[in-house]
C-alpha cells in the first residue's frame, strides 16, 4: 500500500488515509464509523447535506472523487448502481476515471451492489494499473450500517482481503472472503434474491391469516415457533405494529427501499440468464416487486405487504 501521509491512531499504529465516495443511507453511517475509529477521511457526494453531515463529524469534504482520493491509500465507494461505479472509476471513455489518477498500490473497496460482470470489468482495469480492487457488497441495512454490524461479502485476492479486513471490521461484524473478483457480488445477489422471496412469501402468508380472522401478531408468533420461521418474521415483520422499530411500523419509511430490492432481484435474474440457471421463484419475486415499485419504490421493501392490503400504507 501507499505509505504517504499515513495518520496515526491513539495506540501508535499506522492507519491509512481513506477516501469515501457515496454518502447515502448506507455510506454516511459507514463513513462516520471510520471517523470514530480514528481514520482520516476525505469524502465526496453530490448531496451537500450529506457532505456537511460528515464534515461536522470530522471529515474533509472534496468537490470530486479525484480530489477526495488525492491523498488516500484506500478508496471506499458506496454507489447506487453499476453505471455509477463505472463512471467513477473508469470515466466516460473507460480511461479517464478515478483509477487513472490513483498511484500503484492503492486499495479500492467498492461496497455497491452491482452486477458481477461490472465488478470484474473494474477489477481488470485496476489490475492493469497496479491497483488492488475488491468488490465488497454489504448486508444488514441502515441499522447495521449505523451500528457497525454489517456483513461484508468480499471478492478479490486473498492479499487485498487481508489488507482490507481491519478496515471493514470497523464497519461490520461478519466479513467473508467469497472468492475472486465478482464473487462478493454473486453471493450478495443470491442472498437478496432469497430475501425478496422470503419477504413476498411472508407478507402473503400473514395476509392469508388476517383475511381469515387471525391476529397478525399471534399468527407471526405461531410461525416463529414453527417450520415457517425465517428472518423476516424474526426481525423485520412486514405487517404494521406487529414489531417495534421496523419500517412497517413507521409507514414503511427508512430501511431498504423497494426499488433497490427490485434492482437486486433483476441483477440475480441477469446473472441466472447469463449462466443458464433456472430461478422461477426469483423471477416471480422480481415480477411482484417490479409492479410494487411503480408507486412504492421509495418505501421499504417490506411494503410489499400493501399488494394484499393497501390500507397498511395509511
Give the contacts of 19 (CB within 8 A, at least 6 positions apart): 41, 42, 43, 44, 62, 65, 68, 69, 72, 74, 75, 76
Give the contacts of 183 (CB within 8 A, at least 6 positions apart): 116, 135, 154, 155
**CA distance readout (Å), 42 to 66, 90, 242, 296:** 11, 20, 41, 34
Q: 127-155 in b/e burial notation, b at 16+ Cβ within 10 A?
A: eeeebbbbbbbbbbbbbbbbebebbbbbb
Residue 83 annotated in active site: no
Distance between alpha carbon 188 and the CA centroid of its chain, in Å?
9
| The three grid cell numbers given for residue 45, joined into one nine-digit string | 457526494
Widest distance between CA atoms in the chain: 67
Alpha helices in 23-115 (DSSP H): 27-36, 48-57, 65-68, 82-90
Q: Which of 15, 188, 259, 263 is catalytic?
A: 188
State residue 18 phi and psi, 5-degree precision: -125, 135
Which of 293, 272, 269 lies closest to 283, judged by CA? 269
Catalytic residue annotation: 188
Amino acid at each position: 500500500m501507499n505509505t504517504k501521509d499515513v495518520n496515526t491512531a491513539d495506540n501508535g499504529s499506522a492507519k491509512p488515509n481513506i477516501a469515501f465516495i457515496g454518502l447515502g443511507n448506507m455510506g454516511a453511517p459507514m463513513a462516520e464509523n471510520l471517523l470514530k475509529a480514528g481514520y482520516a477521511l476525505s469524502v465526496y457526494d453530490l448531496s451537500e447535506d450529506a457532505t456537511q453531515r460528515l464534515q461536522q463529524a470530522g471529515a474533509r469534504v472534496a468537490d470530486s472523487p479525484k480530489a477526495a482520493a488525492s491523498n488516500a491509500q484506500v478508496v471506499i465507494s458506496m454507489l447506487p448502481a453499476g453505471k455509477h461505479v463505472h463512471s467513477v472509476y473508469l470515466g466516460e471513455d473507460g480511461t479517464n476515471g478515478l483509477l487513472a489518477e490513483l498511484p500503484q498500490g492503492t486499495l479500492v473497496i467498492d461496497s455497491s451492489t452491482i452486477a458481477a460482470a461490472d465488478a470484474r470489468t473494474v477489477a481488470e482495469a485496476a489490475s492493469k494499473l497496479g491497483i488492488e480492487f475488491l468488490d465488497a457488497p454489504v448486508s444488514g441495512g441502515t441499522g447495521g450500517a449505523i451500528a457497525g454490524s454489517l456483513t461484508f461479502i468480499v471478492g478479490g485476492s486473498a492479499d487485498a482481503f487481508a489488507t482490507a479486513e481491519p478496515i471493514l471490521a470497523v464497519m461490520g461484524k461478519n466479513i467473508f472472503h467469497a472468492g475472486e473478483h465478482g464473487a462478493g457480488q454473486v453471493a450478495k445477489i443470491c442472498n437478496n434474491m432469497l430475501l425478496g422471496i422470503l419477504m413476498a412469501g411472508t407478507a402473503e402468508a400473514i395476509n392469508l391469516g388476517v383475511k381469515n380472522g387471525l391476529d397478525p401478531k399471534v399468527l407471526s408468533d405461531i410461525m416463529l415457533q414453527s417450520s415457517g420461521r425465517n428472518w423476516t418474521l424474526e426481525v423485520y415483520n412486514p405487517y404494521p405494529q406487529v414489531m417495534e422499530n421496523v419500517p412497517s411500523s413507521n409507514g414503511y419509511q427508512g430501511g431498504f427501499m423497494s426499488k433497490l430490492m427490485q434492482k437486486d432481484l433483476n441483477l440475480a435474474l441477469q446473472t441466472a440468464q447469463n449462466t443458464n440457471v433456472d430461478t422461477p421463484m426469483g423471477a416471480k419475486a422480481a415480477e411482484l416487486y417490479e409492479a410494487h415499485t411503480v408507486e412504492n419504490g421509495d418505501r421499504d421493501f417490506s411494503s410489499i405487504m400493501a399488494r394484499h392490503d393497501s390500507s397498511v400504507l395509511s
